[in-house]
């Protein structure tokens, strides 16, 4: 078995924390972006592999992005732009994982991955 910790170093991918208490269960959506798969040559295909929701915490106004590995968004960019009121999503924070991908100068850049999100009643 390969050790996860060696010489006081660990891969950032081995670190993960639950999102409960860090991100809100209800967030305001400010943008929806589709992520596309790449082919063997690194060129973008037309197959959607994930949807990213750029969100705002309604209590602290902090911004964050949630990635959902699905090919269909709960709301499209066009529907979001046409909405007259703020659009909110419900995030199952007990099933969301936060993992660092870059750590420098005491701060970590993280990915926030959720299994799904739903539209919340405004």
pLDDT tens-digit series, residues 16-47: 888 999 999 999 999 999 999 888 888 888 89
Confidence at residue 122, expressed as pLDDT on a 0 to 100 scale: 58
**Average pLDDT estimate for 42-53:** 90
Strands 107-114 and 63-68: parallel
- What average pLDDT does the segment 7-23 reach? 84
pLDDT for 86 beyond 90: yes
Task: Output the pTM of the full model.
Answer: 0.86
| CATH label, 16-119, candidates 1.10.760, 3.40.50, 2.40.50, 1.10.10 | 2.40.50
DSSP string covering 38-52: E-TTS-EEEEEEEEE
């Amino acid at each position: 078995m390969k050790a996860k910790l060696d010489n006081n170093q660990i891969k950032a991918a081995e670190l993960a924390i639950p999102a409960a208490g860090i991100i809100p269960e209800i967030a305001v959506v400010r943008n929806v972006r589709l992520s596309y798969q790449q082919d063997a040559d690194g060129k973008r295909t037309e197959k959607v592999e994930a949807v990213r929701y750029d969100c705002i915490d309604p209590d602290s106004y902090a911004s964050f992005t949630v990635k959902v590995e699905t090919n269909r968004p709960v709301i499209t960019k066009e529907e979001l732009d046409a909405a007259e009121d703020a659009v909110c999503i419900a995030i199952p924070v007990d099933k969301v994982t936060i993992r660092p991908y870059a750590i420098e100068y005491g701060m970590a850049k993280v990915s926030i991955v959720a299994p799904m999100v739903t539209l919340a009643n405004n």
